[in-house]
Amino acid sequence: MRTILFSPPKYLGNFVTINDCCWGIGENAVTPSKLLSIGSYLKEQGDQVRFLDAGMQDMAWGDVWNTLKHHGVDRLLFQVVPQFESWQMIVADMCFRLGIEPYAIGISNDHEKDLLRRTFTSYGLNLPTFDKFPPIDWSLIGDGNKPYHLTYQIADGCPYHCSFCIWSKKEFAMRPPELVIKNLEQITCSEPIYLLCAQITTNKKWLEKFVELKKEYKLDFKYTTDLHCKEVTDEKIEMLVESGCIGAVMGVESTNQDILDKINKGITIDEIENAVLICKKEGLDLAVPFLYNIDPSEDVERDIEFYKQYKSFTPSPGIMKRYPGTQMFEETYSFDHIMEFGTDPVATMPGLDEALKKVKKWEGVLGV
Ligand code: SF4
């Protein structure tokens, strides 16, 4: 079986992010390590696998068409991105015209799954669980030793249950640290590697082993990652910093306890303060998202005051998006709303104007 792993070109001028990530869609093209893992698995099973990263290579749909047409392909495997039904349909259409079987994987809501099942040869493949994938075969991305910007997924799913996050319903599994090291020792990357997600601090034994092996194998790469403030301790942050972690994102979203409870964040203001102080003490660069359009009671002034109190992290104010498949999506959109406006995660959201004003208030604080 000749299989192409497909990462899409820019769509309407935007990159389509291709990792399963709670960030969803953004101006962000990353190495889709999940697709590469699947490709490595299929290769091990005897497939001839190629990787077509149209986003990174800045290909237009015409280039994709020509590439598919002129390379013998039996099966195309691509990752579904919620809300981007139209590009998925373009891929399916190309495949049918060229006699290629299109397979879809990834996160989507039930409506999209139905659509995909009807449109594609298959939605989903019979794959091992995330922690059982073989090491990534980096040669799949051509100049495999020098990825442009490497995002490497260390975990799938999340043990927390934030109502806005598409990872919260997925079972949490971490790649064994031995496998992470085996994968990363094969590559050189001039930029820091982003070790995505969910929380590198969740499993202390995992972290200890990772740090120990990184040292043993003399891997001196720098990396960034994600933290959960409930799990931040002096010991863990010290380990991170010593092992080359130069920055982390810690999703706080709000400094209003009612809001945190409403989105099922599972953290307290005390825990946020504690984590901020520890990261400051250990010298770890921290980015902290604050999100608006959760609830009218959210208080941007309070968030700004919190930032001013510490000024030890980079605040990242933004709009809370509703992604299909999340609890928050179900709570926000009625069937009638979807029928009338569709489900664009930003443009059709009630309350957007007020939320944008709140984001704008940060401009003065951040000097932008
Ligand atoms: S902590 Fe919450 S937002 Fe972060 S990955 Fe887990 S479920 Fe998603």
Asked if residues 38 and 77 have their Cβ atoms less than 8 Å apart, the reply is yes
Q: Considering the entire predicted model, what is its pTM?
A: 0.78
- Which residues lie across from 196 on neighbouring strands? 153
Q: Which atom of ligand 1 is nearest to the CA of 168?
A: 7
| 167 and 146 fall within a common domain | no
Which CATH number characterizes residue 167's domain? 3.20.20.70
| 215 and 132 fall within a common domain | no
Asked if residues 247 and 287 have their Cβ atoms less than 8 Å apart, the reply is yes
Which mean pLDDT values do the consecutive 10-residue runs of the chain (368 residues) have?
81 53 42 76 90 77 88 81 68 87 68 62 70 83 60 85 84 89 82 82 94 95 93 96 95 95 96 97 94 92 95 90 77 71 60 89 81
Report residue 237 as tokens.
Answer: 């942050």
Alpha helices in 2-149 (DSSP H): 33-44, 61-70, 85-98, 110-119
CA 68, 139, 142: angle at the middle one, nearest 5?
A: 50
Ligand 1: distance of its center to the CA of 17 in Å?
18
Tell me the per-residue pLDDT of 43-98, one tens digit each, with 9 for 90 and over.
Answer: 999 999 988 877 767 788 888 899 888 888 888 887 666 556 667 778 888 888 89
Structural domain ending residue among the three candidates 101, 124, 153? 153
**In this structure, which residue's CA is closest to atom 7 in ligand 1?**
168
| 146 and 274 fall within a common domain | no
| 93 and 186 fall within a common domain | no
| 271 and 319 fall within a common domain | yes
Judged by phi (left if over 0) then psi (alpha if -120 to 50, else beta), residue 285 lies in beta
Which CATH number characterizes residue 99's domain? 3.40.50
291 lines ligand 1 (CB under 6 A): no
Structural domain ending residue among the three candidates 95, 126, 153? 153
Ligand 1: distance of its center to the CA of 31 in Å?
21
Ligand 1: distance of its center to the CA of 261 in Å?
14
| 127 and 177 fall within a common domain | no
The number of angstroms, rounded, from the C-alpha of 117 to the middle of its chain's C-alpha atoms is 24
Ligand 1: distance of its center to the CA of 61 in Å?
34
228 lines ligand 1 (CB under 6 A): yes
Ligand 1: distance of its center to the CA of 251 in Å?
8
| 118 and 222 fall within a common domain | no
Asked whether the CA dihedral 11, 323, 260, 293 is positive or negative, the reply is: positive
| 368 and 278 fall within a common domain | yes
Q: Identify the pLDDT of residue 135.
A: 85
Alpha helices in 243-323 (DSSP H): 257-262, 269-282, 300-310
162 lines ligand 1 (CB under 6 A): yes
Ligand 1: distance of its center to the CA of 169 in Å?
10
Asked if residues 6 and 52 have their Cβ atoms less than 8 Å apart, the reply is yes
Whole-number Å distance between alpha carbons of 140 and 39 = 8
Count CB atoms within 10 A of the CB of residue 22: 20
- 85-98 helix and 61-70 helix, angle to the nearest 10 degrees: 30
**In this structure, which residue's CA is closest to atom 5 in ligand 1?**
198
**In this structure, which residue's CA is closest to atom 2 in ligand 1?**
162
| 86 and 170 fall within a common domain | no
| 345 and 264 fall within a common domain | yes
Name the residue among 293, 287, 346, 337 with its Cα closest to residue 312. 287
202 lines ligand 1 (CB under 6 A): no
Structural domain ending residue among the three candidates 107, 137, 153? 153
Whole-number Å distance between alpha carbons of 297 and 120 = 43
Ligand 1: distance of its center to the CA of 294 in Å?
16
Tell me the per-residue pLDDT of 286-307, one tens digit each, with 9 for 90 and over.
Answer: 999 999 999 988 999 999 999 9
Name the residue among 225, 217, 262, 258 with its Cα closest to residue 241. 225
| 133 and 32 fall within a common domain | yes
Q: Identify the pLDDT of residue 116.
A: 63
Q: How many domains, the chain? A: 2
Q: Identify the pLDDT of residue 214.
A: 96
Q: Identify the pLDDT of residue 37.
A: 82
168 lines ligand 1 (CB under 6 A): yes
Asked if residues 210 and 175 have their Cβ atoms less than 8 Å apart, the reply is no
Q: Identify the pLDDT of residue 25.
A: 37
164 lines ligand 1 (CB under 6 A): no
167 lines ligand 1 (CB under 6 A): yes
| 34 and 145 fall within a common domain | yes
- Expressed as residue numbers, the domain containing 115 is 1-153
Name the residue among 331, 264, 318 with its Cα closest to residue 292. 318
Whole-number Å distance between alpha carbons of 329 and 332 = 5
